């Protein structure tokens, strides 16, 4: 299955195989390839929490996500530039995607004011006043040396009336156009547009059409996993994804659980990010082939078996469930470190299996096998 390349020189997505709507491919970038479907580890402030960059690499992760809002406030773009750019600063030479920061600014509520040209807000750290516009957002990500930059958008709140969602989507589309104008193309770098529109099908289709006409290097589906529920999320994907260009990567922002990822791949999504595996690792929850386990549970106190016998992370190959249980019950920082490593390794193993199954044209069977192995999660 050969698709034409995307638009920016050196930044090229090629689908290699498909099984139904699920597809696997490679995104070539200035900082190396990204095999898809891909899960990107979240490194909001220039670090994946509880992980060294070497540890992240050892999980098989190929791309890390940073956040423009957090990085612009601390340590600041000037300092990052002086220290050699974000890749060098955080010891990550591979692809880096930076979110625009729009979602984080929107969450400030009383600390921000939106107008048609951007957002004025006060820092949640020290109350200092800042301005974020599409042009400023593009300049920040350029100076960070982000491999993949995201347009500035407004994440539509949920629930939202059709009128409110339409106004929000129209504003995001205006900002998308301004972002595209301000973006400085470089070989091997790309800019993604973000589809908005809440849970309203007509708005999602209009947003997708607008972004397609602007010809971005990739397309994200944003504004989901914000309370609308899994069924509504999947319905929006079914409506939206077929209207996104085949020759460009498709990114579902902020999703999700392993089952959510399977369901989104079934609907044609190529890229994912989510804080779930790292946040779960810090709170004693482990994702495994047999479901989610809470390592604080007393039943693990004398369990000498490995957390997941199929996993090759240090937590599984060098330690028992009993030891991991002990670390969390004792408040030792090694517990979150080992379990974060495990969860990221599991997610990367999940993605490798998905890619292999698509290439072998057995994705449906593979997904059914995975789902059968995931038991009902424990009460957390």
Using N-to-C axis directions, what is the helix angle for 134-144 and 162-182, rounded to 10°? Answer: 50
The domain boundary residue, chosen from 210, 239, 274: 274
Same domain for 267 and 304? no
Q: Would you list the DSSP string of 203-248?
A: HHHHHHHHHHHHT-SEEEE-S-SSSS-HHHHHHHHHHHGGGS-TTS
Q: How far is CA 39 from the centre of its chain?
A: 7
Q: What is the CATH number of the domain that holds 83?
A: 3.20.20.105
pLDDT at residue 154 tops 70: yes
For the stretch 298-314, pLDDT in tens is 999 999 999 999 999 99
Domain's final residue, options 239, 274, 309 = 274
Q: Same domain for 87 and 49?
A: yes
pLDDT at residue number 377: 55
Burial class (CB in 10 A: 0-12, 13-18, 19+), 86: buried
In the structure, what pLDDT confidence band is assigned to residue 376 with cuts at 50, 70 and 90? Answer: low
Comparing CA positions, the residue from 257, 232, 220, 252 lying closest to residue 350 is: 257
| Segment 168-197, tens digit of pLDDT | 999 999 999 999 999 999 999 999 999 999
For residues 251 and 193, give the distance between their C-alpha atoms in angstroms, rounded to a whole number.
Answer: 10
pLDDT in tens, 63-104: 999 999 999 999 999 999 999 999 999 999 999 999 998 788
Residue 305 falls within a domain, yes or no?
A: yes
Once rounded to an integer, what is the mean pLDDT over residues 261-286? 98
pLDDT at 81: 98
Please indicate, yes or no, whether residues 264 and 341 belong to a single structural domain of this protein: no
* Cα R_g (the chain), whole angstroms: 20
Domain endpoint, select from 274, 304, 326 = 274
Q: How many domains does the chain have?
A: 2
Does 290 share its domain with 266?
Answer: no
Q: What confidence score (pLDDT) does residue 105 get?
A: 74
pLDDT tens-digit map of 239-258 = 999 999 999 999 999 999 99
pLDDT over 50 (residue 46): yes
Enumerate the active-site residues: 99, 273
**What average pLDDT does range 116-127 have in this prediction?**
92
């Amino acid at each position: 299955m050969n698709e034409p390349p995307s638009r920016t020189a050196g930044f090229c997505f090629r689908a290699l195989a498909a099984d139904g709507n699920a597809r696997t491919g490679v995104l070539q970038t200035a900082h190396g390839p990204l095999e898809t479907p891909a899960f990107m580890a979240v490194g909001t402030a220039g670090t994946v929490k509880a992980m060294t960059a070497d540890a992240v690499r050892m999980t098989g992760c190929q791309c890390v996500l940073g956040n423009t809002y957090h990085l612009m406030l601390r340590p600041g773009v000037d300092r990052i530039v002086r220290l050699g750019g974000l890749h060098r600063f955080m010891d990550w030479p591979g692809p880096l995607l930076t979110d625009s920061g729009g979602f984080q600014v929107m969450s400030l509520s009383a600390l921000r004011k939106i107008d048609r040209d951007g957002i004025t807000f006060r820092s949640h750290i020290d109350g200092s006043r800042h301005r974020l516009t599409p042009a400023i957002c593009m300049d920040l990500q350029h100076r960070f040396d982000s491999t993949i930059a995201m347009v500035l958008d407004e994440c539509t709140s949920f629930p939202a009336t059709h009128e409110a969602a339409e106004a929000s989507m129209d504003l995001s589309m205006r900002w998308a156009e301004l972002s595209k104008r301000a973006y400085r193309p470089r070989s091997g770098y790309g800019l993604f547009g973000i589809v908005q529109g809440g849970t309203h099908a007509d708005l999602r289709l209009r947003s997708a059409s607008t972004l397609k006409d602007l010809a971005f290097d990739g397309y994200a589906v944003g504004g989901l996993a914000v309370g609308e529920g899994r069924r509504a999320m999947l319905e929006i994907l079914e409506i939206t994804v077929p209207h996104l260009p085949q020759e460009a990567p498709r990114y579902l922002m902020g999703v999700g659980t392993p089952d959510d990822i399977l369901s989104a791949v079934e609907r044609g999504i190529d890229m994912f990010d989510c804080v779930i595996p790292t946040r779960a690792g810090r709170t004693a929850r482990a994702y495994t082939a047999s479901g989610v386990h809470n390592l604080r549970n007393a039943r693990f106190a004398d369990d000498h078996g490995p957390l997941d016998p199929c996993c090759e992370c240090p937590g599984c190959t060098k330690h028992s469930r009993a030891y991991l249980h002990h670390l969390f019950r004792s408040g030792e920082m090694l517990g979150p470190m080992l379990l974060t490593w495990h969860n990221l390794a599991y997610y990367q193993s999940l993605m490798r299996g998905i890619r292999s199954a698509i290439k072998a044209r057995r994705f449906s069977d593979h997904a059914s096998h995975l789902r059968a192995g995931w038991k009902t999660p424990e009460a957390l």
